[in-house]
């Protein structure tokens, strides 16, 4: 008798719940159609991505991607003998002893070798020059980075850095806590993060450098993270961010990029560039290539964490832009009314037409653009 009574009660309950859910869904659709459309679009995009391209093919050879681009070239050998550091000509055999002895304005010359020591630079106006293959490997200071820079106006040339990791999953080759940094001919790779700065880093300039296979902790660490100030990038490579990291994340009031390559290749990265607080973004004479396995449809995210700068512009001009993510691409994702991107004179490969076609040369395939197939990357002029 109890069993016979339970069944109709259960059926009645399920019918009421089903009708209520349908009415609730219909109300949301009628009252908030834009939000409903966004949810549906995001859900479909997520499913398309996860079902179609969970991961790159197992047959991918990492050397295939590394060989697409010119190899990193260390600085020439100079005055410093192997495994020796010269500070204004005075020899040291320990980076920690060098750090303790440094004074403002000193010059450090590092001889060829693999250095398993980290270093804190507290003095101002320091110049560090690697002479020959100079590699910082698998060592951190203060649980932060291979080089923790607390002084101002630091210049670093010809340094390679790899295999940096810390407990917080944001181990960097460089943690900039001071202001004003120049990096020239550095190669940061296979670490949790290439460079991480505080909120007031002054002017950060990167030129002739390579950042590769960086990122960690499901998008919480990136190729580089700039917390403010100004960022200038020239003639550099940012490729294959991993673990859903961005190749570049910049909160700078001005981010200027020229003659550089920013590319996913086979990586499961997120955005090529995340500019979360707006500001002036300029990218010219460069290659932007979103690969087929990127987890985020945005190539560039702009102002999505709130605009915090007084001047806000986006200029993409004279670039080659490859939009090849299997599940769709959005070149610049920004909130309505925040900015009108100026996107002109670019060569764009994209299967889907868009509103920017009339200002650019747009092709629906690499073949139509006269380019070799993926993963080839065009060379800069």
Do residues 246 and 274 lie in contact, with contact meaning Cβ atoms separated by under 8 Å?
yes
Note the pLDDT of residue 324.
94
Name the DSSP class of 2.
Answer: H
As a whole number of angstroms, the distance between CA 72 and CA 160 comes to 9
Name the percent of the chain lying above pLDDT 90. 76
pLDDT at 23 over 80: no
Structure confidence by residue, pLDDT tens digits, 90-139: 999 999 999 999 999 999 999 999 999 999 999 999 999 999 999 999 99
Do residues 143 and 172 lie in contact, with contact meaning Cβ atoms separated by under 8 Å?
no
Confidence category of residue 352, pLDDT binned at 50, 70, 90: confident
In this structure, of 47-56, 166-175, 249-258, 371-380, the range with the lowest mean pLDDT score is 47-56
Note the pLDDT of residue 180.
98
In this structure, of 14-18, 147-151, 166-170, 302-306, the range with the lowest mean pLDDT score is 14-18
As a whole number of angstroms, the distance between CA 223 and CA 273 comes to 10
pLDDT at 25 over 80: no
Strand 85-87, strand 119-121: pairing = unpaired
Q: What is the dihedral of CA 177, 117, 216, 373, to 10 degrees?
A: 110
Structure confidence by residue, pLDDT tens digits, 44-59: 555 544 444 445 655 5
Tokens at 201, concatenated: 């880093």
pLDDT mean across residues, the chain: 89
330-358: average pLDDT: 89
Structure confidence by residue, pLDDT tens digits, 189-226: 999 999 999 999 999 999 999 999 999 988 899 999 99
As a whole number of angstroms, the distance between CA 357 and CA 143 comes to 48
pLDDT at 253 over 70: yes
Structure confidence by residue, pLDDT tens digits, 232-244: 999 999 999 999 9
Cα 320 to Cα 32, 177, 359: the distances in Å are 38, 35, 14
Beta bridge partners of 290: 323
Do residues 132 and 104 lie in contact, with contact meaning Cβ atoms separated by under 8 Å?
no
Tokens at 209, concatenated: 């450098």
Confidence category of residue 375, pLDDT binned at 50, 70, 90: very high
What stretches of the chain show up as alpha helix (H) in DSSP? 2-31, 33-52, 62-66, 95-101
Which string of DSSP letters, residue by residue, matches 193-207? EEEEE-S---EEEEE
Structure confidence by residue, pLDDT tens digits, 292-336: 999 999 999 999 999 999 999 999 999 999 999 988 999 999 988
Domain positions in the chain:
2-31, 78-225
Q: Taken in order 222, 174, 232, 253, is the CA torsion positive or negative?
A: positive
As a whole number of angstroms, the distance between CA 327 and CA 224 comes to 26
- Decide: helix, strand or coil at residue 122: coil
Backbone conformation region of residue 328, classed left if phi is above 0, alpha if psi is from -120 to 50, else beta: left
pTM: predicted TM-score of the whole model, two decimal places: 0.85
At residue 339's C-alpha, the angle toward residues 336 and 344, to 5°, is 115
As a whole number of angstroms, the distance between CA 54 and CA 170 comes to 25
Note the pLDDT of residue 312.
98
Note the pLDDT of residue 356.
80
Structure confidence by residue, pLDDT tens digits, 61-81: 666 666 778 889 999 999 999
pLDDT at 10 over 70: no
Note the pLDDT of residue 52.
45
pLDDT at 4 over 90: no
Do residues 220 and 244 lie in contact, with contact meaning Cβ atoms separated by under 8 Å?
no
At residue 285's C-alpha, the angle toward residues 283 and 291, to 5°, is 75
pLDDT at 285 over 90: yes
Do residues 253 and 281 lie in contact, with contact meaning Cβ atoms separated by under 8 Å?
no
Helix (H) or strand (E) holding 342: strand 342-344
Confidence category of residue 357, pLDDT binned at 50, 70, 90: confident
Confidence category of residue 179, pLDDT binned at 50, 70, 90: very high
Note the pLDDT of residue 62.
60
């Amino acid at each position: 008798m109890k069993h016979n009574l339970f069944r109709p009660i259960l059926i009645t309950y399920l019918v009421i719940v089903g009708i209520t859910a349908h009415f609730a869904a219909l109300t949301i659709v009628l009252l908030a159609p834009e939000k409903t459309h966004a949810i549906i679009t995001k859900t479909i995009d997520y499913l398309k991505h996860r079902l179609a391209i969970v991961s790159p093919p197992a047959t991918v050879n990492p050397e295939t991607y590394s060989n697409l681009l010119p190899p990193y070239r260390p600085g020439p050998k100079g005055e410093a003998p192997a495994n020796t550091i010269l500070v204004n000509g005075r020899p040291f055999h320990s980076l920690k002893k060098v750090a303790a002895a440094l004074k403002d304005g000193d010059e450090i010359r590092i001889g060829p070798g693999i250095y398993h020591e980290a270093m804190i630079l507290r003095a101002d106006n320091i110049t560090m020059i690697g002479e020959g293959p100079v590699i910082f490997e698998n060592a951190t200071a203060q649980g932060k980075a291979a080089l923790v820079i607390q002084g101002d106006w630091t210049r670093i040339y010809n340094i390679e850095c790899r295999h940096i990791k810390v407990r917080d999953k944001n181990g960097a080759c460089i943690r900039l806590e001071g202001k004003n940094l120049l990096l020239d001919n550095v190669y940061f790779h296979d670490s949790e993060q290439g460079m991480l700065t505080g909120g007031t880093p002054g002017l950060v300039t990167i030129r002739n450098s390579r950042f590769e296979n960086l990122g960690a902790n499901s998008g919480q660490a990136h190729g580089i993270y700039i917390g403010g100030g100004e960022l200038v990038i020239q003639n550099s490579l940012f490729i294959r961010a991993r673990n859903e990291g961005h190749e570049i994340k910049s909160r700078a009031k001005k981010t200027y990029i020229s003659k550089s390559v920013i590319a996913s290749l086979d990586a499961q990265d997120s955005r090529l560039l995340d500019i979360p607080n707006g500001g002036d973004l300029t990218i010219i004479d460069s290659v932007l290539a979103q690969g087929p396995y990127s987890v985020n449809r945005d190539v560039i995210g702009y102002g999505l964490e709130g605009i915090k700068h007084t001047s806000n512009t986006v200029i993409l001009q004279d670039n080659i832009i490859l939009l090849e993510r299997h599940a769709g691409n959005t070149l610049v994702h920004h909130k309505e009314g925040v900015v009108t991107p100026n996107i002109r004179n670019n060569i764009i490969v994209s299967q889907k037409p868009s509103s920017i076609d009339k200002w650019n040369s747009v092709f629906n395939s690499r073949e139509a653009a006269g380019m070799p197939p993926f993963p080839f990357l065009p060379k800069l002029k």
